Structure formats: C-alpha cells, structure tokens
Amino acid sequence: MLNTIIIVDDNRNVLAALKLLLEREFRQVVALPSPNTLLRQIDQCRPDVVLLDMNFSAGLNTGNEGLFWLREIKAHHPTLPVVLFTAYADIELAVAGMKEGAADFVVKPWDNDRLIAALTRACKSEKETAKRSTTPDSPLFWSDSPAMRDLRLMVEKIASTDAAILITGENGTGKTLLAKEIHRLSARSDKPFMTVDLGALTETLFESELFGHVKGAFTDAKTDRAGKIEEAAGGTLFLDEIGNLAFPQQAKLLTVIQQRTVTRVGSNKALPVDFRLICATNQKLDEKVLRGEFREDLYYRVNTIHLEIPPLRKRPDDILPFAERFLTVFAEKYHKSGLKLSPEAARKLTNHPWYGNIRELEHAVEKAVIIADGNTLLAGDFQLTVPAQRTDTPEATTLEEMEAEMIRKCVAKCGGNLTAVATTLGITRQTLYNKMKKYGI
C-alpha cells in the first residue's frame, strides 16, 4: 500500500466515494472540500500524491483555480506528483496543467481502475526520479565558469564540517539545490534534509511548524506533533528565505540555535536536538542588521560560512551548458528526442540578461521544447521578456505582466519592506511572497 493521498474536490459526494475507493490503496486518505488549507495539509501529511479538482467556486468552470493551486503546490513542493481531476469539457485545460507540471489527469465520471492506475503510476514515477537524484552519478550540475569552480572548491572544503552556512543570491540561482548538495556531501547525508520556507510561513504558525506542539496546546492540536527542527535531528535543517523572518521570531530561533534544544508549544520540556544549519536568502542581511531589521547576534550565528551564488548574467559562459542540460531533460520528458539548438537560438539565449536566472532559463527551455515543431529549436521558439524596471521595454500588456510590474514598483517604493508592500497592495504577506516567487522578483 501507498502511504498518503490528499483529495481536493468541492463535491462532498465525490469525496466520500473516492475515500471509500482509495482507502484500499492508501494507508491514509485526506479529503478536502476546499484547497484553502491544502499547502498546510501537505506540510503535515507529506502525501505520496495529490488528486486535485480543477474548479472549486460555484459558477466558475474555467479551470483557472485548479491551475493556480497546481502552481502553488509546485512552487512549494516541486517533486510532489499532482493528478488533475477534470470534466470532459476541461481536457484542454488538463493538458495545459500537465505542461505546468501535473503528472497526469483523470476525467469525470471516472473509471476506478484507470484512476488507481494513474495515481499509482504518478507515485512510482516520482519515487524513481527521487532515487535517481540521490545516486552518486547524478549530483548537482556544476558549470565550468571561474566563479562556479571557486564555489565548488569551497563547498567541497566545508561540506564535511558542521559549520553553519549562509547561502545568498538572487531568486532562481539555485540556493536550495546548493544546500541539498552540501547535505549530500556531508557525513549527515543518510539523515533527514528538512526544508522550512520562512517566507511562506505565517507568524502565527511559526512556533508550531518549527518547534512542534503537544496535544491541547491550541484548538486544533488533537495530538502531539514534532516540529521541523525535531524532524531534522541528526541531519540538516535548511531555513530558506531567512531574511523574511519577523523580528520577534528571530529571538526564538536564536535561542534554539544557541542552546540546541527545542520546546514544543504547550510544553515546558526542552528537548535536545542535533542538526546542521544551512540558511538562504536573496536579501543583504548585513544591510538589514544596520537598519535594525535583523538581529546582529542571529546574523553571526547563521553566517559562519558565507556562499554567494552569482547571477547568471554575470557568468554568461554558463548559459548554453545549462540550456543544453535542460534541453536533454525536457526532450526526454516530452518524448522529443534529437532536439538541438539552432545558432540563432543559442545567440538569443546568450544575449538575454536572465534576471530570473537559472529558473527563468529552465522555464524558457521547457516552453520552447513544448511548442517546437521540428528537431531544431529556433530563436522564435524562445519567448523571452525583460521586466519593465530593468530596461526601456514596452509597457506590460498582460494581466500577469501588469501585476508583476505593480509589485516591483511597490517593493521599490516601500524600500523592500514586504509587510508594507502587502498592506499597500491589500493582500496577505504570504500571497505577496508567493507572487514574488512566481514572477522572480
């Protein structure tokens, strides 16, 4: 049997039927009538697969809600397989969802055997991918540029130690991948690598998620639960976007790092924890310290070793090697063997500034592979844009471009204060953070 599946569908009759069917295949079936708590449930349950409906609001049948939540899942849990649940009329949208990263789609009314086969196949594919990614012959892709050679030498020197590491760099440069590579090269590689995205974690959930809680600590605390720090015991704790951590929470985190103990919410018992700390941010923490926005003592605790990943535009020799690597990956994924770059396409990629860095390049290559007609990717197959604030480009013409431009201008106006930006735009801080990651801001 597989461990856990999360089903999201606003039809409670459908949920009940699926729960009865899938309890024979999964040890735990979590049924959600709304996606509003989906990301939190994924963090808590760690499912093998998510079965996601495409529509949730009465009167809305565009499928955009399903695509939105698919993107949210992939942004926070890129390796989690998602199978879309759709009506006959939404098959075109389901195909679009697969281009966004969905593993498969199932049409309503469903055939039980086909549904189970699709879910099992999605889980199996993910496990095989995860197995390949941890083998010695498939480590992080290192380019040959001088900057990356120096970075690799430093990583090889410090990986075997327990020194706290701070990884900095722009969005999309590969900070999370570098953290995983350090863990893979360390003596703790057979222990957990636990990631906490502090930018997406609300202040009210901070203590429960990191420190855990005991039964009865608050209304929904029905059982004891270990926090992410406890779960990292013996391994590596990776705190992503630590620059977004609110000042009151910084003191609580500092205490854990200094004392190497954690106290669950609702308990007075301090539990010893052994973990290697790696943090990452796209912000300049030293400047935040000077502005009084980040604790100086915490800064020195997380910054024993500082690794800076330079942006892709400052190492142009890396562009084509990465593009070729992504081309190989996506040609296999979309069953288009023999693809290659035309000279014009190669020049276009080399001359593009890549403000979204490697992540932007990866997405550009994937899109080009999907839309390409022949075996050669032409310059026109690459749909590249430059943010309006970077150069004198035409005004934004799509809703997404307008939204991204509005956020950039507000961030600049508020001096990078994300709380002020969220308040000005009338959205939550977590929604703001998700949108900034989506647009590479």
pLDDT of residue 430: 81
Q: What is the pLDDT along the chain (441 residues), one digit of tens a residue?
A: 688 999 999 899 999 999 999 998 998 999 999 999 999 899 888 899 999 998 775 444 445 788 889 988 988 887 789 998 887 656 677 777 877 788 888 888 888 988 998 898 888 766 654 444 433 443 577 877 888 888 988 888 888 888 899 999 999 999 999 999 999 988 899 999 999 988 877 777 888 889 988 887 777 777 888 889 999 999 999 999 999 998 889 999 999 999 999 999 888 888 999 999 999 999 999 999 998 999 999 999 999 899 999 999 999 889 999 999 999 999 998 888 889 999 999 999 998 999 999 999 999 999 999 988 889 999 999 988 876 655 444 444 567 777 888 888 888 777 677 888 888 888 888 888 888 877 767
pTM above 0.75, yes or no: no
Domain 399-439 maps to which CATH number in 1.10.287, 1.10.1330, 1.10.10, 1.10.150? 1.10.10
CATH number for domain 147-308, candidates 3.40.190.10, 3.40.228.10, 3.40.50.300, 3.40.50.1580 = 3.40.50.300
pLDDT at 398: 65
Which class would CATH give 2-132? alpha beta
Domain with CATH 1.10.10 in the chain: 399-439
Assigned fold of 313-381: Helicase, Ruva Protein; domain 3 (1.10.8)
CATH 3.40.50.2300 location in the chain: 2-132
Mean pLDDT of the chain: 84
Q: Where, residue-wise, is CATH 3.40.50.300 in the chain? A: 147-308
Please state the three-class secondary structure of the chain as a single string.
CEEEEEEECCCHHHHHHHHHHHCCCEEEEEEECCHHHHHHHHHHHCCCEEEEECCCCCCCCCCHHHHHHHHHHHHHCCCCCEEEEEEHHHHHHHHHHHHCCCCEEEEECCCHHHHHHHHHHHHHHHHHHHHHHCCCCCCCCCCCCHHHHHHHHHHHHHCCCCCCEEEECCCCCCHHHHHHHHHHHCCCCCCCEEEEECCCCCCCCHHHHHHEECCCCCCCCCCCEECHHHHCCCCEEEEECHHHCCHHHHHHHHHHHHHCEEECECCCCEEECCCEEEEEECCCHHHHHHCCCCCHHHHHHHCCEEEECCCHHHCHHHHHHHHHHHHHHHHHHCCCCCCEECHHHHHHHHHCCCCCHHHHHHHHHHHHHHHCCCCEECHHHCCCCCCCCCCCCCCCCCHHHHHHHHHHHHHHHCCCCHHHHHHHHCCCHHHHHHHHHHHCC
